[in-house]
Amino acid sequence: MGVHDAMYILGGKWKISIMACLFFGPKRYSDILRNVKGISGKMLSRELKEMEVNQLIKRTVTSNQPITVIYEMTECGASTKPIVSVLAEWGETYRKQMIEKTPADI
């Protein structure tokens, strides 16, 4: 049941990448769009809204001119950092292993 709950909140192609971007500090929408390679603006908006509803991130609108929207991790979202770090380490190891293999090894 716990894995199902976690996958419901963290699942999808983009959430982990967005979270990894925000672990480095608060970002504007355009910064996230630039840093998360391959995501469309429409999909980023959708994912950010879901993440905000699930209390993984916080959206702050400044009253300065021009109006700026900043996204940052909440305490709940920040608690996933160890999980995301382990996934990142595993991904790097996997990529290195695949690069080292020749087509004959596969």
CA distance 64 to 73: 22
3-state secondary structure of 87: helix
Question: Residue 8: is its pLDDT beyond 80?
Answer: yes
Which pLDDT score, from 0 to 100, does residue 104 have?
62
Q: Could you tell me which of 72, 80, 81 has the C-alpha nearest to residue 29? A: 72
Q: What residue has token string 């001119």?
A: 65
Question: Residue 81: is its pLDDT beyond 60?
Answer: yes
Which pLDDT score, from 0 to 100, does residue 66 have?
87
Which pLDDT score, from 0 to 100, does residue 92 have?
93
Give the residue-averaged pLDDT of 66-92. 94
User: What's the whole-number average pLDDT of the chain?
Assistant: 92
Question: Residue 106: is its pLDDT beyond 70?
Answer: no
Cβ pair 30, 39 in contact under 8 A: no
Helix axes 81-100, 15-22, angle to 10 degrees: 110
* Longest Cα separation, the chain: 60
CA distance 54 to 57: 8
**pLDDT (tens digit per residue) in 32-74:** 999 999 999 999 999 999 999 999 999 999 888 888 999 999 9
Which pLDDT score, from 0 to 100, does residue 18 have?
97
